[in-house]
Amino acid sequence: MNPSGMSIKWRITLLGGVCLLAVVVSILCATLWQAQRISSTLQQQSTERFEQLATARLQDSAAAQALRMQRVFDDNRLYLEGLAGQLLQLQEQQQRGLISAQALRQQLVGRAATALAQRPQLLGLYVVFERNALDGQDSGFVDQTALASNASGRFALYWSQAQAGQAQQTALTEDNILLDRSAPGSEAENAWYACPTKTAQACVIEPYTVSVEGQDTLMSSVALPLLRDGKVIGVVGVDISLATLQRLTGELQRQLYEGKASVGLTSATGLAVAQVNGDVEGPQAQVNAAFSPIEGARPWTLQVQVAKTLLLEPALRLQASFDAASRQANWQSLSWGGLCALLGVLILGWATHSATRPLLQVADALDSVVDGDGDLTQRLPQRRAAEPGRLVDGFNRFLEKLQPLLHTIQSTAGEARACASRSADITRAVNSDMYQQHGQVEQTVTALVQMGANAEEIANHSASAAQAASTAELETRAGMQRFDDTRQGITELDDNLRDTLGRIEALANSGAQINQVLDVISTLAQKTNLLALNAAIEAARAGDQGRGFAVVADEVRTLAANTQHSTTEIREVVERLRSLTQDALEGMLDSRQRTVQVVEQINHTHDSMQTISRAVDTINEMNQHIASATGQQHQVIDEIAQRMSEIRGISQRLTERMDESSTLSRSLDGLAEDQQALLAHFRT
């Protein structure tokens, strides 16, 4: 379409529509861009937070499993400490002259065998003293393997246990004890003996592989020094299979992400103890949990590797939900924007049509004067708008100026006809205006009825919103009450944990008191044993007369030895009980700390619920105001509609009167028809 031939109405409509469309598109683009930016920021923050939480949870799982692995070594260390105390007590008895050197070595061998039988999971147990550090009589026991003495007479006992209950005794050679054939830079081959003797501390030997019944077994050793007056006089240690650590590694791998993680355990020097591989592809997340097998030892490391796709799976699902919601919101924004643009164009077209209608009326009137029968009596209705009103007024004044000239020419014959014609024209114009007025009144009444219906619908929606807000307020208050109950329950749980901690500490103190009592009993047993020995010596001197007394003294000494042995076993049980009590105390402390954290989180949530409750109260109050205002508006609209109905009735009656007036005007025009024939070319 040629723009120069386009009407003013269509030009204004087209220009306004383009501008309106440009504004709507700009607003939509800005809104979509801002929504996309906010969505990207939220997705990034949520992904980072999920990764932090998942990594922390993975770290906690690895740390918990590492603690279980550490307990494997701690149990053996405590076991060795108890055994070392028993061995040193036997040596002290020999030094006091209570038993002979041969009996000492026999009892050391038997005590080690008994201790190994109590631990069927151990692969071996060894007790090695420094040369002449046991009884100072190594030269008297050369090559007596039954007494665990090697070629130099040194006490070098080793019990091997391939299966539970199948122990085998050997005497370690000097090469086994002192010779180091390891490669440079690696741990010494005799580290099981050299480490505790050099450091005077407990040592954990790096993993090594040994063939047990034809099957390669990965194992390690825990060794403790035997100290007398702060000086190392020997070593006691055990060989342990690392199958337990491998089993714990496999358990952790199966627990994490349905077995799709990779878990590995390495020693202090980086030797692989266990490795269980899962389905780990692409970018990976790795956490390390280090633990010292025993106090003072170099740490071992538990490594966990997980694919980031598994680690961030909840974040990816949340991101997909965000994307779907964002796409739906974008489509809704585009739909509403298009609807608003279309509505704006329609309103603009209606306004343009209303503004250009007077121009069309003037143009039609001019065409009627030029191309018609020269009727100069017609008049256009006055308009309130400035420019169209001036145009109509100018057109009417032009006709008013032209009409007197024709009246002067037609002063006689046309005067009556002119009056009749003018009366008819005025009647028709007024009648037309009345019809238009009646139509506009009808439209106004219809619009008021529709407006009243809309106001009533708004009131209904406001009432529904108020009811929903009230329901939300009740639910919020109920939720706050449940949070208060939960917080009270957690507080009571914290009080119970505090009381339990006190009881556990009291239990630990009771264990220490039991140890003191056992020390007294052990001392009494030693003194009783010594007194019985002295009594036996005196009975021997007395000969046959002291034989009965010697039998009694021997029974007393046997009872004292049994008492001392039972005291040692009770002490071991008490030590294990103290260890378990300490673990329970640490667990209860951790539980109480977590309980305090839960209370803090519940307090924060309670504050948020109070904020929500206040917001719901505000919404409820606003809905009530809206419902009240809508009801008042509906009353005003009803009153206006009633008044417009009355106006419609009056307009109807005026239209009927104007029809009668139009009939009378046509009668007058018929009477003047003969005179009009003379002035056929002009109608004034």
Give the pLDDT confidence of 620-652 residue by residue, as tens digits: 677 677 667 666 766 766 777 677 777 777 767
Residue 282 DSSP code: S
Tell me the helices (H) and strands (E) count for the chain, helix number first. 11, 11
Lowest mean per-residue pLDDT among 410-414, 577-581, 637-641: 410-414
498-501 contacts: CB < 8 A, separation 24 or more?
A: 498/592, 500/588, 501/585, 501/588, 501/589, 501/592
CA–CA separation, 674 vs 324, rounded Å? 85
Share of the chain above pLDDT 90, in %: 14
**Of residues 669 and 334, more confidently modeled:** 334
**3-class DSSP assignment, residue 300:** strand
- At 349 the pLDDT is 75
Give the C-alpha distances (Å, rounded to integers) separating 420 from 280, 529, 557, 672: 106, 159, 160, 7
- At 587 the pLDDT is 74
Position 564 confidence tier, pLDDT thresholds 50, 70, 90: confident
Residue 630 · residue 455 · CB < 8 Å: yes
Residue 191 predicted with pLDDT over 70 = yes
Residue 76 · residue 240 · CB < 8 Å: yes
The residue-averaged pLDDT of 531-537 equals: 76
Give the closest residue to 533 by CA, choosing from 568, 560, 562: 560
**Of residues 678 and 116, more confidently modeled:** 116
Lowest mean per-residue pLDDT among 91-95, 311-315, 558-562: 311-315
Question: What one-character-per-residue DSSP string does 532-564 give?
Answer: HHHHHHHHHHHGGGGHHHHHHHHHHHHHHHHHH
Place of tokens 């949990």: 289
**Of residues 183 and 491, more confidently modeled:** 491
CA–CA separation, 563 vs 553, rounded Å? 15
Residue 1 predicted with pLDDT over 80 = no
The residue-averaged pLDDT of 313-321 equals: 66
Lowest mean per-residue pLDDT among 149-158, 306-315, 577-586: 306-315
CA–CA separation, 376 vs 414, rounded Å? 13
**Of residues 7 and 273, more confidently modeled:** 273
- At 589 the pLDDT is 76
- At 6 the pLDDT is 64
Domains of the chain by residue range: 100-241, 373-409, 457-658
The residue-averaged pLDDT of 346-373 equals: 69
Strand partners, 157: 127, 171
Give the pLDDT confidence of 222-279 residue by residue, as tens digits: 999 999 998 999 999 999 988 888 888 888 878 877 777 788 888 888 888 887 776 6
Query: Strand 272-276 vs strand 122-129: parallel, antiparallel, or unpaired?
Result: unpaired
CA–CA separation, 198 vs 257, rounded Å? 45
Residue 546 predicted with pLDDT over 80 = no
Lowest mean per-residue pLDDT among 27-31, 364-368, 516-520: 364-368
Could you tell me which CATH number the domain at 457-658 has?
1.10.287.950
- At 162 the pLDDT is 77
Lowest mean per-residue pLDDT among 4-13, 364-373, 672-681: 672-681
Two tokens at 425?
């024209």
CA–CA separation, 432 vs 260, rounded Å? 88
- Using only C-alpha atoms, the chain has a radius of gyration, in whole angstroms, of 55
CA–CA separation, 263 vs 286, rounded Å? 10
Residue 677 predicted with pLDDT over 60 = no
Question: What one-character-per-residue DSSP string does 56-114 give?
Answer: HHHHHHHHHHHHHHHHHHHHHHHHHHHHHHHHHHHHHHHHTTSS-HHHHHHHHHHHHHH
Which ranges of 163-241 does DSSP label H, i.e. alpha helix?
A: 174-178, 191-199
Give the closest residue to 112 by CA, choosing from 168, 147, 159: 159
Give the closest residue to 494 by CA, choosing from 606, 592, 635, 358: 592
Lowest mean per-residue pLDDT among 135-144, 161-170, 588-597: 588-597
- At 84 the pLDDT is 93
Give the pLDDT confidence of 26-43 residue by residue, as tens digits: 887 877 777 677 767 766
Residue 117 predicted with pLDDT over 80 = yes
- At 452 the pLDDT is 65
**Of residues 616 and 256, more confidently modeled:** 256
- At 448 the pLDDT is 62
- At 629 the pLDDT is 67
The residue-averaged pLDDT of 509-532 equals: 74
CA–CA separation, 509 vs 428, rounded Å? 119
Position 492 confidence tier, pLDDT thresholds 50, 70, 90: confident
What is the homologous superfamily of the domain 100-241 according to CATH?
Answer: PAS domain (3.30.450.20)
**3-class DSSP assignment, residue 435:** helix
Looking at every residue in the chain, the average pLDDT score rounds to 76
Residue 142 · residue 149 · CB < 8 Å: yes
Position 196 confidence tier, pLDDT thresholds 50, 70, 90: very high
Give the best-scoring range by mean pLDDT among 118-127, 268-277, 385-394: 118-127
Give the best-scoring range by mean pLDDT among 245-259, 437-451, 455-469: 245-259
